[in-house]
Amino acid sequence: MDQSSQSRTEPSLTILVVEPSATMRSVYASQCAGRGATVECVDDVAEAIAWVSRRKPAAIITVDELKGLNGSSLVAALKSSPEYRAIPIVLMTPEPLCPGDLGHYLPDHFLVKDNTMRASLEGFLDSIGLGLRGVEQEQTAAETLPEGTRILLAEDNAVNQTIVGRILHVAGAEVVAVGNGAEAVTCAMREPFDLVLMDIQMPTLDGYEATRILRSSGLTTPILALTGEDRGEFEAQSMRGSFDGVLYKPVERTDLLCACARQLRERQTGPRRDDEAA
C-alpha cells in the first residue's frame, strides 16, 4: 500500500482532552483508542488554546471544573473564533447545566459525569463520524479532501454552520466559519481559500451579492451555493451570482464531501474560466 492510500484508510485523528484527573484521562483515552484515534492531554485552558493554535484536533473533550479558567471559558474562546468554531467540543460537567447559564457560545454536546457517561461519550464520537475500529468507515476517493484544504463556510444558521463545519473539519479540512455575506467577502479577500461554501439567505449581505462582489474583484476560487430555496426558484435567480455548483439543504455528508472534492479536483486540473461558470 502506498503512502497516499494509507493516509486515506488510516486517518490520523487526534482528540484533545482537557482534564486534570489522570484517572479520567485514561477513561477518555481508552474510548478514543477503540475508534482508532490518538489522544493528547492538557491540564488547563491556556495549554489547550496553545495546543489548538499549533494543530487543530478532530474534537475536544473538556471538563468544566478546571483550575483558573473553566471549561466553559475554553468553549467561548474557541467558538467565538471563525478559525476554531468548527471543532466539535463536548463539555463534561458534574451535574446538568442549563445552556442559558453559559452565555452565547455553547459546546456541541453536554455530558454529565454519571453512570451514563461512557454511553454518552460513545454517542458523541459517533456523531463526529469516528466509527469503531474494524467497522467500515473508509472514505471513497470521491469524498476525500486533499490534505491542507482551506474552506470558507458562510452560513448564518448556527445549527447548519455546526453540522457542515463539523463534517468538513473531521474530513480533514481547515474550516473558517462566518455568519453573513459581508464577513465572507472580507475574509475571502484577506485570506487564501481553496473553496467557498456560500449560504444564500444571510443578513447584512446575501450570498448572491457576496458572490457577485467576490467575482467582480477577480476571485477565481470555486464557490458552491448552499440553499434551502426551492430548486426551480434558486436556478431562476442563480444568474445573479457566479457559482460553480449548488448544494440543497439539508445536505447529506456524502453529497457535501463529494461536491467539495469534485471542485477541488477540477481546480487542480485547470484554472476556472469566468465565462464557463457564468
User: Which of 127, 149, 182 marks a domain boundary?
Assistant: 127
Contacts of 209 (CB under 8 A, 6+ apart): 181, 240
Q: What pLDDT, on the 0 to 100 scale, is given for residue 275?
A: 44
278 residues of the chain, pLDDT tens digit each: 344 443 333 445 899 999 999 998 998 888 888 888 889 999 999 999 999 999 999 999 999 999 899 999 999 999 999 999 999 999 998 888 776 666 788 898 889 888 888 898 988 888 877 766 444 455 565 677 888 899 999 999 999 999 999 999 988 899 999 999 999 999 999 999 999 999 999 999 999 999 999 999 999 999 999 998 777 766 756 655 589 989 999 999 999 999 999 999 888 775 444 444 43
Whether residues 224 and 152 fall in one domain: yes
Domain for residue 199, yes or no?
yes
Environment class of residue 228 by beta-carbon count within 10 Å: exposed (0-12), middle (13-18) or buried (19+)? middle
Task: Extract the C-alpha cell encoding 140.
Answer: 471513497
Domain for residue 45, yes or no?
yes
Is this prediction's pTM over 0.85? no
Query: What range does the domain containing 61 cover?
Result: 11-127
Residues 40 and 17: beta-carbon distance below 8 Å: yes
Whether residues 229 and 203 fall in one domain: yes
Q: Into how many domains does the chain fold?
A: 2
Is the bond into 82 cis (omega within 30 degrees of 0)? no
User: Which of 92, 127, 162 marks a domain boundary?
Assistant: 127
Whether residues 255 and 145 fall in one domain: yes
Whether residues 173 and 234 fall in one domain: yes
Residue 78 CA to residue 235 CA, distance in Å, equals 37
Residue 174 CA to residue 182 CA, distance in Å, equals 21
Residues 165 and 86: beta-carbon distance below 8 Å: yes
Whether residues 174 and 231 fall in one domain: yes
Whether residues 202 and 82 fall in one domain: no
CATH number at residue 67: 3.40.50.2300
Domain for residue 100, yes or no?
yes
Q: What pLDDT, on the 0 to 100 scale, is given for residue 277?
A: 43
Whether residues 115 and 158 fall in one domain: no
Whether residues 56 and 123 fall in one domain: yes
Residues 177 and 165: beta-carbon distance below 8 Å: yes
Q: What pLDDT, on the 0 to 100 scale, is given for residue 124?
A: 87
Domain for residue 135, yes or no?
no
Task: Extract the C-alpha cell encoding 254.
Answer: 456524502
